[in-house]
Amino acid sequence: MTVPAITGVTARAVVAPLKRPVRNAFGVIEAGPLVLIDVATDQGVTGHSYLFAYTRQVLKPLVLLVEEIGRDLVGKPVAPFDLQHMLDAKFRLLGWQGLVGMAVSGLDMAFWDARGKVAGKPVAELLGGTARPIRAYDSYGVLDPVADARLLRQSIAEQGFHGVKTKGGHGDLAVDEQMVKGLRALLGPDVALMLDFNQSLDPTEAIRRIARLEAYDLTWIEEPVPQENLSGHARVRERSAVPIQAGENWWFPRGFAEAIAAGASDFIMPDLMKVGGITGWLNVAGQADGASIPMSSHLLPEASAHVLAVTPTAHWLELLDVAGAILVDPVRVTDGTVTARGPGLGLAWNETAVAKHQVQ
């Protein structure tokens, strides 16, 4: 396969409607602020990827940053490992975290998408695997076992999900327990139930809450304390009968190496837009394999289905659809699984919807 060369990089900001708001310990996400990345090549294909910006305030600087970095890449071969090494050197003194890390990760995903399109194959196949069904869980914000009962029953009966995630930490322990107790009664014993605290507790409070909630057969407790507090995570993990999940806010492979060395969690769940895209994910997948740590995904289900297909310790794919409104063919769930689609990452923009939801 002839390696394509980059001829241009563009980015656009959209605020995509969500099927349901996502409420967590710190507020409510009503819509999806996204940055759409396009990497044009000299072989007539364009690599696509997107970033979830969490808040509208960073859309403009993130768009500008992607395009500024992209200007320096024009003329270079679409060789993701080489490009990441070059960008690592460029930003080593500044650091990878924050918007720079997201921009680099988003570009990396678009590089792989372009390579897959040139080859006419899904990225999963380029990586040496096959596009296979990956077990997914339905990811929610704060749930009400009564008000949301119909929605949850549909999720299980119609889409076949065998796992559900909810958010905690939005109230005191009694609030969390009432929600978790009600959900376990509704879902029954055979559906995995995950609880995400979104970094809202200190270690002492996390230990106290988990001790009360362990009776409800939780698959994991996610980010009980601030993500950078690795010793706090390790302390909670040591005292918890429920496995600890973390990693969506750890940056690039070096961040995971430090977290694994600290014994910070039982499971890890990298976010493709913070771990260094697909190139960074592959590095972390090797670390997880060496340490026998189950590895799940965070957001970006379209691309995550490709990398989980080649992850030795693949665990769960998170299904939280933030981009479906602007895609030609949104992510599909079949019997509670998601299968990677191609060519590339299988992404194509619905330009009519993009124009409707684009912001300047």
- Looking at residue 30, its pLDDT comes to 85
- Start and end residues for every CATH 3.30.390.10 domain found in the chain: 6-120+351-359
pLDDT reading at 226 higher than 80: yes
In the structure, how many helices (H) and strands (E) does the chain have?
12, 12
- Looking at residue 181, its pLDDT comes to 98
Distances (CA, A) of 276 to 105, 133, 145, 319: 4, 24, 37, 20
Q: Is the dihedral of CA 222, 305, 320, 350 positive or negative?
A: positive
Active site residues: 167, 298
- Looking at residue 41, its pLDDT comes to 98
Residues near 155 by Cβ (< 8 Å), separated by ≥ 6?
138, 161, 164
Mean pLDDT of the chain: 96
How far apart are the C-alpha atoms of 328 and 326, rounded to whole Å? Answer: 7
Q: Which CATH superfamily is domain 125-339 in?
A: Enolase-like C-terminal domain (3.20.20.120)
- Looking at residue 29, its pLDDT comes to 81
- Model confidence at 1, in pLDDT bands (50, 70, 90)? low
* 238: helix, strand or coil: helix
Q: Which CATH superfamily is domain 6-120+351-359 in?
A: Enolase-like, N-terminal domain (3.30.390.10)
Average pLDDT in the 190-208 region? 97
Least confident residue range of 25-29, 48-52, 302-306, 312-316 = 25-29
- Model confidence at 93, in pLDDT bands (50, 70, 90)? very high
How far apart are the C-alpha atoms of 92 and 95, rounded to whole Å? Answer: 5
Estimate the share of the chain in helix, then strand, then coil, as percent rounded to the nearest 5: 40, 25, 35
Nearest 5°: CA angle at 286, between 280 and 289? 140
The pLDDT tens digits of the residues spanning 270-296 come to 999 999 999 999 999 999 999 999 999
Give 6's strand partners: 41
Average pLDDT in the 59-88 region? 97
Q: Which of 334, 294, 332 is nearest to 316 (CA)?
A: 294
- Looking at residue 2, its pLDDT comes to 82
- Start and end residues for every CATH 3.20.20.120 domain found in the chain: 125-339
Buried b (16+ CB within 10 A) or exposed e, 7-28: eebebbbbbbebeeebbbbeee
Average pLDDT in the 295-310 region? 98
Written as six digits, the tokens of 304 are 């995550």
Average pLDDT in the 164-175 region? 94
pLDDT reading at 81 higher than 90: yes
- Looking at residue 31, its pLDDT comes to 87
- Model confidence at 170, in pLDDT bands (50, 70, 90)? confident
Least confident residue range of 26-40, 94-108, 239-253, 301-315 = 26-40
Read off φ and ψ for residue 334, nearest 5 degrees.
-125, 115
What percent of the chain is modeled with pLDDT above 70?
99
